[in-house]
Structure 1
Amino acid sequence: MQTSAVTDLAHTHARPVHWLATATAMAGVVALAGIIQPGPAGATAAPPTPRPAPDAATAHYPLQCGGAPSTIAQKATGDLDGDGNPETVAVVHCEAGSGTPPSGIYVLTHGKGAGAPAARVVATLVEPAQQKNVTGFAIRDGVVRATLLGYSSPDVPSCCPDQSEQVTWRWRGGTFVRTAQDEARAV
């Protein structure tokens, strides 16, 4: 007598209900795949790379130094107008053999056109004629900050300013708006 190695198991026989359950599950998977789809393929442009900040050493400053050279005492960079490209702000004064020459504060951007300097002055925040010296100079969050040292009278020696004022400049409406942090006070 021969016995078959395959036994008659109840779960190996497909019934119509099994086929119906399988078809329903497959229809659900296909429907879900139709709903959950990736977005359309396409190339996305990378954001433009900001230009480097203008080089303060390449600018021509509107200083009257009587033939003496000018010196860039301090400089800082930051995006002041919100265009994504940094500007440079430079504190510049004439070189002097002694004393403390007054400073100018200048905002620089890139030069325009062939043969133009790499950096050009687009705004003057402090004129040297105002007889101010600059300390505490920085750019933070698009705002230029400085401490301006000055003189209460022409009798005060240029080595020893006796007034101090905290000021900021912020780009608004196409111009730099100056705000004094506190009134000028004696040092």
Structure 2
Amino acid sequence: MAAVIAGAGLLQPGRATGATPAPGPAGTPQAAAPDAHAVTYPLDCKGTPTTVTATAQGDLDGDDRPETVAAVRCDAGSGTPPHAIYVLAQEAAPGARPRVVATLLDPAQRRTATDLTVRDRAVTASLLGYSSPAVPRYSPDVKQLAKWRWTGGKFRQELTDSTAGRV
């Protein structure tokens, strides 16, 4: 009995890290999510730099390689410039840079993105906007939940609560 207890004391599970183990065969290196700061974004910022304000990672298209979703805006220095939301993919070739593969939110929609997440192969974000042109641009008064999912070879926006709430 003492030998069994001593043996059990030596065979302990690994320490808990809080990290979710990656799928795949043991010993197979998992692809890293694309670096949102290593991309040139298709934003016309009139000479000012772009700023990545939020990112989320996950396998959105089921290919076992994570994508990065980035909320990006022009770095205007003041005010609240609108966001764009882009999906980034990393090419498998060594040394390849990540690239933009989809635009989920165009800055022309004049929304500010918050609470960006990737969960269950879907992208969600809270979008802040304006109920009329009379609302000051520094004080959005409308909030809407947006959700996108990879379906049929492209990202489609899923229907969310159609009534945009007041902030």
Which TM bucket (shorter chain)? 0.7 to 0.9
Please give the residue correspondences for 1:2-21 in structure 2 after superposition, counting only pairs within 5 Å.
none
Residue 104 in 1 paired to residue 76 in 2? no
What is the TM-score with the length of structure 2 in the denominator?
A: 0.79
Q: How many residues align?
A: 142
Residue 62 in 1 paired to residue 42 in 2? yes
Residue 95 in 1 paired to residue 100 in 2? no
Cα displacement string for residues 124-144 of structure 1 (whole angstroms, at most 9, x for unaligned residues) = 000111100011211111110
Identify the residue that residue 50 of structure 1 maps to in structure 2. 30
- Greater C-alpha radius of gyration: 1
CA distance in 2, matches of 1:104, 1:86: 20
Structure 2 gaps of 5+ residues are 1-24
CA distance in 2, matches of 1:142, 1:114: 26
CA contact (8 A) 1:144 1:170 kept: yes
Identify the residue that residue 39 of structure 1 maps to in structure 2. none
Structure 1 gaps of 5+ residues are 1-45
Identify the residue that residue 78 of structure 1 maps to in structure 2. 58
CA distance in 2, matches of 1:115, 1:52: 13
Query: In the alignment, residue 177 of structure 1 is paired with which amino acid?
Result: R
Identify the residue that residue 140 of structure 1 maps to in structure 2. 119
Q: Alignment partner of 1:57: what SS?
A: helix
Query: In the alignment, residue 105 of structure 2 is paired with which amino acid?
Result: V
Superposed displacement of residue 110, structure 1: 1.2
Superposed displacement of residue 97, structure 1: 2.0
Backbone CA RMSD of aligned residues: 1.9
Cα displacement string for residues 100-119 of structure 1 (whole angstroms, at most 9, x for unaligned residues) = 11000000001476875x11
Cα displacement string for residues 128-170 of structure 1 (whole angstroms, at most 9, x for unaligned residues) = 1110001121111111011111111222111111111111111
Identify the residue that residue 131 of structure 1 maps to in structure 2. 110
Q: Alignment partner of 1:129: what SS?
A: helix
Residue 178 in 1 paired to residue 157 in 2? yes
Query: In the alignment, residue 149 of structure 2 is paired with which amino acid?
Result: R
More helix by share: 1
Percentage of identical aligned residues: 51
Superposed displacement of residue 77, structure 1: 0.4
CA contact (8 A) 1:80 1:170 kept: yes
